[in-house]
Structure 1
Amino acid sequence: MTELSFNRRHALKTLGLTAGAALLNLPASAEAGGEKPSPAFKYSLNMSTIRGQRLGFIKELEVASKAGFRSVEIWIDTFQQYLEQGGSATEAKKIISDLGIEIENAIGFAKWIVDDDATRKAGQEQLQREMEQLAKIGCKRVAAPPMGANSKDAALINLDVITERYITILEMGEKTGVMPILEMWGGSPNLKKISQVLYVVAASGRKDARLLMDAFHIFKGGSEPDSMAFVGKPAVEVFHINDYPAGIAPEKISEPDRIYPGDGIAPLRQMLQYIKDPGKPVVLSLEVFNPEYYKQDALLVAKTGLAKMKAVTAGV
């Protein structure tokens, strides 16, 4: 695959735009940036997509901007490594502004949901610190997945109890200005289905409650895509877009199986129709963890992902 990656990059440089786009299985207009972006969506790069290249916080932002993304999702641990190595939130905020990008959301793993009181309190305190850090760089949201309650043998937590715990972190978000969005994980016993995260968001009774869905996790968790029709438009501000190949059952599919949008069998255009909101653009964030992509040049991966996203959303 490494040799293929080299050949692919070489072909893009030497064969011209149309031939290069053909090698990538892209419409030439999309590779050129000629595919008209859908006004219904903002295109975002989740740094998981180039995480395997280990570029570091600032370089990831630079790659996203150079590829044409104006929105990104960062990973909190990468940001914290940058701070530990002498960077500052003030410096980062200026770089983000100069690059012309927005930090739409951050990916973290605080254990806010668990039953153990001490662990949950520590998780809430961790999340509080992370929210305060993220606020300094203008990040608007932070993902709130069922971390710590996601192992196969984890006990099921009553949805009303989860709702109470989600309200607690929503109140934290109200004070910090960084709102937690409830994330479904298809491989987790807790919050694995659209119906479960929708229940918690609705039962919270709060207008600022939001949920984070993901094409891969919808399949992995066994939710029907048509269930998305019951999710109110205000509840979705960010959607993780990706695809998955045919021939892998939900119980067998895993994170590395994620592929570019349009390269698999996910009913993405159907999903996008359900979440499209005439009142505001929805952030579509490319989130994959593909080890083959990690062997490639990060800028090529980001550009390819953006072109694939534009092709999938064209006309939606």
Structure 2
Amino acid sequence: MRPTLSQVCSLNSPLQRDVEDYAAGKCDSLELWLTKVEAYLETESAPSLQRLLQDHGMDAAVASFHGGLLTTQGDARRAAWELFAERLQLCQLLEVETLVVACDVPHPLTATDLERVRHSLLEAAQLAGPLSVRLAVEPQAGAAIGNNLQTVVALVEEVGSPHLGICLDSFHYYVGPSKEADLTYLTTENLFHVQLADIGDQARELASDRDRILPGDGIIDWRPILRRLTDVEYRGCVSIELMNPQIAQIPALQFGEIALTALRKLLGLASP
């Protein structure tokens, strides 16, 4: 397992500062936050971003996230898919192996939504494959469809593409309807990415992304998750992903050191 930090944790910090400060804290694996990347590329080139990463010994194998693909219609769907195509090209250029896709199906559920989701996942995988990009579908706790691991794994299996897999996000796993038994649906073949965040002692129904805290600082029982990662011999990125506005105020260097230490401790890895 490769300890990784998501840029979204330091949302107020510019991309270049993230790379420099996380690297100074001995982080060598970064989950790109696409809106940050796109903002950077408004004034810089993709090769300059590649050089920045290389100069700091930083690997960026994962990018997050793309939404609005699955059930949107009309102009909204067209815009989401045009941006998706652009981001796939960007991932290929930056040699990003995995792009996280949100299973963000809104309420209320309509009779045709399930078929739209199936068709969209198939189409997305067909676009990603030729560019050597894998899509990791992330269950969303509040989604009308795909709010749990069992359902999302079933949808991915129906498509049957080697370019389509699962992103296990511990926050959505815990606050949504997923059960511990659902972890058994994760396999060596379908688990593409892992994102970790904890939650404080509060009602899960009221929890939002703003409430994410460092893993180990809250009430999630990590043993079943870590046991499953070991059982499937997961070797990919395990990323801390926090959208907490208070944590975002912490300087990237300080946060990176604290977060990486917490992550390595949780994963049972020795300090570098």
The two structures have a TM-score, normalised by structure 2, of 0.91
Is this contact kept in 1: 2:195–2:239, CA < 8 A?
A: yes
Mapped to 2, the partners of 1:212 and 1:88 lie a distance apart of 29
Is this contact kept in 2: 1:110–1:126, CA < 8 A?
A: no
Q: Compute the displacement of 1:163 (Å).
A: 2.1
Which of 54, 68, 76 is equivalent to 2:26?
Answer: 68
Counterpart AA for 1:164: H
- Residue 151 of structure 2 is aligned to residue 196 of structure 1: yes
Counterpart AA for 2:100: A
Counterpart AA for 1:190: I
Which of 175, 186, 191 is equivalent to 1:220?
Answer: 175
Counterpart AA for 1:311: K
Counterpart position of 2:81? 124
Q: Compute the displacement of 1:284 (Å).
A: 0.6
Counterpart position of 1:98? 55
- Bigger mean CA deviation after superposition, 117-126 or 134-143: 117-126
Residue deviations 1:96-153 (CA, integer Å, cap 9, x gap): 1121111121113342112414432332221001111222122112111134x33x54
Instruction: State the superposition RMSD in angstroms.
Output: 2.1
- Residue 35 of structure 2 is aligned to residue 77 of structure 1: yes
Counterpart position of 1:275? 229
Q: Compute the displacement of 1:165 (Å).
A: 0.9
Percent identity for Structure 1 against Structure 2 = 19
SS at match of 2:40: helix
Is this contact kept in 2: 1:159–1:199, CA < 8 A?
A: no
Q: Compute the displacement of 1:164 (Å).
A: 1.9
SS at match of 2:238: strand
Mapped to 2, the partners of 1:230 and 1:130 lie a distance apart of 29
Structure 1 pair 195–278 and aligned structure 2 pair: CA distance change class (3 A): closer
Rg (Cα) greater in structure: 1
Structure 1 pair 234–277 and aligned structure 2 pair: CA distance change class (3 A): farther
SS at match of 2:100: strand
Is this contact kept in 2: 1:228–1:274, CA < 8 A?
A: yes
SS at match of 1:136: helix
The two structures have a TM-score, normalised by structure 1, of 0.79
Counterpart AA for 2:3: Y
Mapped to 1, the partners of 2:109 and 2:15 lie a distance apart of 33
